[in-house]
Amino acid sequence: MIINNICCIGAGYVGGPTMAVIALKCPEINVTIVDKDQNKIDRWNGPFDNLPVYEPGLAEIVEKTRDKNLFFSSDIDLAIQKAEIIFMAVNTPTKKYGKGAGMAADLSHIEACAKRIARVSKNDKIVVEKSTLPVRTAEKIKEILKRESNGISFEVISNPEFLAEGTAINDLFKSDRVLIGGEQTLSGIKAVKSLVSIYEKWIPKEKILETNVWSSELSKLASNAMLAQRISSINSLSALCEKTGADIDELSKAIGMDRRIGSDFLKTSVGFGGSCFKKDILNLVYICKSYGLDEVADYWHQVYHINNYQKNRFARQIIDLKKKRNISSVAILGWAFKKNTNDSRESASINVTKILLNDNLKVFIYDPMVSRNNIINDLKNINSETNIENEIIDSNVFIENSLLDAIEKVDVAAILTEWDEFTKFDWKNYLDNTDKNLNIFDGRNIIDIEHKNIFKLGK
Ligand code: NAD
Ligand code: UGA
């Protein structure tokens, strides 16, 4: 099939960057990204310094392609009708209600997309699962497409996304692999080839992996679970280091130099955040349980438990200091779940801050990229491990405009995001020249000086 038009439903962290890169690499294809959120579409069509997703290099690509072969629109039906390939890049959060609530993936957005595609399509289409989905979701999507449409043929392909936020553009330009899962039928094979022909424009052929649909769907969940497992493994060892005199950074280096283990994803932290690791692990646990694999489910569940343990452990260390010294305020340095993104979904900062607020501490928060509104919304959102009264948030939370503004006002500073600005800050000079007795809890081990007032993880 010759591809002239692509539609992507979902203009979020995945839909925006992935489609911008496809538009850049395939100038002959018109790419239209649609979303039901009009405000988001308006921002994608607005000033380049205010796009709804911040990723290094993204604004430049959007500037080159927008209104040439990259379009942002809220006319979802028209974009579906024109496209030969439709990507579904909508959110798949943890279910809040019904069967599997708190564990399983909420597929309502995916199902709504499938229904809409079925209802409005006037000719055959290739439907691509870009969202992260439970294994065997393609079966359900096919059922919906068949039931809701009028004799039109749909091929459903799995093509999960592996980009990480903050490095999305580089990850898309130089993907470790592109995974495409399709059915072993004539039309399935043809559909896979159409998708391969797009990625081939910039991804070396040997990095484009063709598998069956279920392997592709499950590989995505398994990859995230294994990445998160490495972080929980190293974080669990950070607690043991603190008891034994071993040093977690030395440990990470020593372990990671074994080629069979590798050095990535062994950096200890206050706990992993982000929109996906937690939800994908819980989803994997739920899937295992639903197949009666309780031991397998328990194994993966532990990755999630250790992450909560690490976040709580970090907050408790600050509260323990409060018992020894009179402290009333803490600076939270960093709100994003990692550096170089404005995304704060499931950031460890949220949980740590709530625990501190519950212990009557005032918090002064500074993040170079996350907006005040986002921070307050994160704290007021009741769907997290710890909840606090809105009145406490209104009276005890202060959003600051700079690192110095924040630390000047407090007894304790806690580094939660590894922003370069915090790494490069001259902590020694500050501590040597201040009259304050400032204690620093480095939840990322980014400060490279030793000082009696600096607490680091796993040391
Ligand atoms: P997101 O919340 O940033 O974006 C999803 C968008 O879909 C939203 O703008 C929402 O308004 C839109 N949407 C939902 N239902 C819709 C509908 N019926 N019609 C039109 N628009 C609709 O989510 P995201 O972070 O881009 O993640 C999308 C998927 O990709 C998830 O399954 C996630 O697990 C997966 N994923 C995310 C990342 C990441 O780094 N964020 C990386 C790899 C995979
Ligand atoms: C992660 C995966 O890395 C991507 O491959 C995947 O596509 C994506 O999830 C997804 O499915 O959403 P992302 O969450 O954007 O990407 O960012 P990561 O770099 O994986 O970081 C996740 C969290 O782990 C962050 O809070 C980060 O600070 C933390 N982390 C990471 C550590 O604590 N230690 C490390 O060594 C690495």
Over its length of 459 residues, how does the chain's per-residue pLDDT go in tens digits?
889 999 999 999 999 999 999 999 999 999 999 999 999 999 999 999 999 999 999 999 999 999 999 999 999 999 999 999 999 999 999 999 999 999 999 999 999 999 999 999 999 999 999 999 999 999 999 999 999 998 899 999 999 999 999 999 999 999 999 999 999 999 999 999 999 999 999 999 999 999 999 999 999 999 999 999 999 999 999 999 999 999 999 999 999 999 999 999 999 999 999 999 999 999 999 999 999 999 999 999 999 999 999 999 999 999 999 989 999 999 999 999 999 988 999 999 999 999 999 999 999 999 999 999 999 999 998 766 678 889 999 999 999 999 999 999 999 999 999 999 999 999 999 999 999 999 999 999 999 999 999 999 999
Residue 163 tokens read as 């980009």
Q: Give phi and psi for 106, each to the nearest 5.
A: -85, 110
Alpha-carbon distance 156 to 185, whole Å?
12
Question: Quick one: pLDDT at residue 388?
Answer: 87
- Ligand 1 surroundings by CB, under 6 angstroms: 9-15, 35-37, 40, 76, 89-92, 109, 112-113, 131-132, 161, 163, 165, 275-276
Which of 8, 113, 276, 288 does the annotation list as catalytic? 276
Q: Please state the pTM of the whole predicted model.
A: 0.96
Q: Of all protein residues, whose CA lies closest to atom 36 belonging to ligand 2?
A: 265
Atom of ligand 1 nearest to the CA of 276: 34
Residue 83 and residue 218: Cα distance in Å, rounded? Answer: 27
Bridge partners, 157 (sequence order): 128
91 alpha carbon – ligand 1 mean position (Å): 3
Pocket test for ligand 2, best of 92, 272, 303, 367 (most atoms within 8 A of CB): 272
Residue 238 Cβ < 6 Å to ligand 2: no
State how far the Cα of 214 lies from the Cα of 209, in Å rounded to an integer: 14
Alpha carbon of 424 to ligand 2 centroid (Å): 22
How many A from CA of 151 to the centre of ligand 2?
A: 42
User: Rounded to the nearest 5°, which phi and psi values hold at 215?
Assistant: -60, -40
Nearest CA among 410, 317, 394 for reference residue 359: 317
How many angstroms separate the alpha carbon of residue 18 from the centre of ligand 1? 12
Confidence (pLDDT) at 383: 67
pLDDT of 384: 66
Ligand 2 contacts CB of residue 179 (under 6 A): no
- Ligand 2 neighbourhood includes 456 CB (under 6 angstroms): no
Quote the ligand 1 centre to 131 CA distance (angstroms).
7
SS3 per residue for the chain: CCCCEEEEECCCCCHHHHHHHHHHHCCCCEEEEECCCHHHHHHHCCCHHHCCCCCCCHHHHHHHHECCCEEEECCHHHHHHHCCEEEECCCCCECCCCCCCCCCECCHHHHHHHHHHHHHCCCCEEEEECCCCCCCHHHHHHHHHHHHCCCCCEEEEECCCCCCCCCHHHHHHCCCCEEEECCCCHHHHHHHHHHHHHHCCCCCHHHEEEECHHHHHHHHHHHHHHHHHHHHHHHHHHHHHHHHCCCHHHHHHHHHCCCCCCCCCCCCCCCCCCCCHHHHHHHHHHHHHHCCCHHHHHHHHHHHHHHHHHHHHHHHHHHHHHHHCCCCEEEEECCCCCCCCCCCCCCHHHHHHHHHHHCCCEEEEECCCCCHHHHHHHHHCCCCCCCCCHHHHHHHEEECCCHHHHHHCCCEEEECCCCHHHHHCCHHHHHHHCCCCCEEEECCCCCCCCCCCEEECCC
| 8 flagged as catalytic | no
